[in-house]
Amino acid sequence: MYTGGYHKKLEELFKRSNVKLGDSVIIQTSNETHTGILLPRYEYADDNHLVLKLKNGYNIGINLRKIKSIKKIVEKAGTSDKHSIDYNYVDNFSFESTDQNFSKGDLPNLSLLSTGGTISSKIDYRTGGVMAALTAKELNDSIPELVKIANIDPEVVLTEYSENIKPEHWSLIAKKVANNILSSKYEGIIVSHGTDTMHYTSAALSFALQNPPIPVVLVGAQRSSDRPSSDASLNLIGACTFATKSKVSGVFVAMHYSISDDVIACHIGTRVRKNHTSRRDAFHSIDVSPFSLVKKDQIEISNQYTDLIFQQRSKSFERMIVRPNFENKVSLLKFYPGFDCRMIDYCVKSGQKAIIFEGTGLGHINKGCFSHIKSAIDNGILIFMTSQCIWGRTALTVYDTGRDLLNLGVIPLSNMTSETALVKAMWCLGNLKEVKDVVKMMTTNIANEFTKRITVD
């Protein structure tokens, strides 16, 4: 049985000191005094340290050999003698409201849909890993700053790490978002999501929900909500600020703009990509600037977006188009030196309906694969070309390799990212029956998946 992760020596110390997990304690060591909450320790940790959560939110480990005494802090009369672990620590930064006289009835209403991921997780003290734990309500309740921004209606749609998200989940999320929009109760929709595949889901919602009358903002966290270095609170605060104060509608992703806690960036759902495994500023807009920056309670819109497709926030949902279906049988293949062209043949045999290639540079693939590509196209598979370069666009007319691919029937996708291209192909094939309609839709700009050649700010 799990006993808080502490083994015999520390359990005996706790018993002698009459303390237990969750108690506020004062620990005297050989040269320091520490005050905090006694936390569990993961099952696989050593038997020589205990974990204490300090008042500033940080956790420290204290060596058993240095401990002189542990004393429980006795509550004053009229207060509870129970102590709970504070998982809701917020860094020393908040988006302060300029209106100190608001009442809850004056605030806009937001829908908060939780799908899981790190933003809805906390540390599992049995293993030391992160586990899904927070519901949408718990996430909302853990961030007191939100009560100054909006009345938030939390709801759990999924509880999945983002690596477990599938196209059928996109359909489920899209339908739920659409239903909440059609209810006319909300000024915006917030979708909390794991970061690893959040840019896939944001692209999926961008295609499945065209012309939404209100903002739909996906938000995640690189670090779980109970960590003192967590970005969860600030990202969610920034997402809610943008959803309530922006004048435009569409699908966006809200995450840290830099490693500092002063600005949140809101990216277009089809132009964003996760480019770092763990940094707070892991997400970047590709070939464009972030749509806006949220600085405290102020929103700054980039001047790049005058020529892009956006509609003003509206109370009418008559223009909204909901097409939530996705086809699974689409593959994303990355070309590399030594690429086995038989992978293309496998796509044919497995019944794939389209292949998105990440070609080199301008969109090139080894000529040894040309016969395999021709065979796939002859078998009715659509083949689209993107670049494995993060920035820039394909150009199959520059070199003879590209011109040969065009002659084979490969369709270039300019500067659409490969992740967005994969999602769009799944969406097109899930909602359109005729091949010619799929090709036309794939090469038509629907949700800013293509952009003009502009200079990034």
Q: How far apart are CA 257 and CA 194, in angstroms?
A: 17
- Please identify which of the residues 53, 274, 353, 424 carries the catalytic annotation: 274
57 φ/ψ sector (left φ>0, alpha ψ -120 to 50, else beta): left
Is 196 an active-site residue?
yes
Place of tokens 């994969």: 422
- Please identify which of the residues 115, 195, 244, 386 carries the catalytic annotation: 195
**Per DSSP, which regions of 382-452 are E strands?**
382-387, 411-412
CB 390, CB 272: distance < 8 Å:
no
> What angle in degrees, to the nearest 10, is found between the helix axes of 167-182 and 418-431?
70
Return the SS3 of 12.
Answer: helix
Q: What angle do CA 260, 266, 270 make, to 5 degrees?
A: 130
CB burial class (10 A; 0-12, 13-18, 19+) of residue 168?
exposed
Q: What are the angstrom distances between the C-alpha of 218 and each of 55, 73, 132, 250, 252?
A: 31, 42, 18, 11, 6
CB 188, CB 313: distance < 8 Å:
no
- Please identify which of the residues 153, 196, 226, 297 carries the catalytic annotation: 196
How would you write 119-152 as a 3-class SS string?
HHEEECCCCCCEEECCCHHHHHHCCHHHHHCCEE
- Please identify which of the residues 23, 53, 115, 118 carries the catalytic annotation: 118
Is 274 an active-site residue?
yes
Return the SS3 of 21.
Answer: coil
Catalytic residues: 118, 195-196, 274
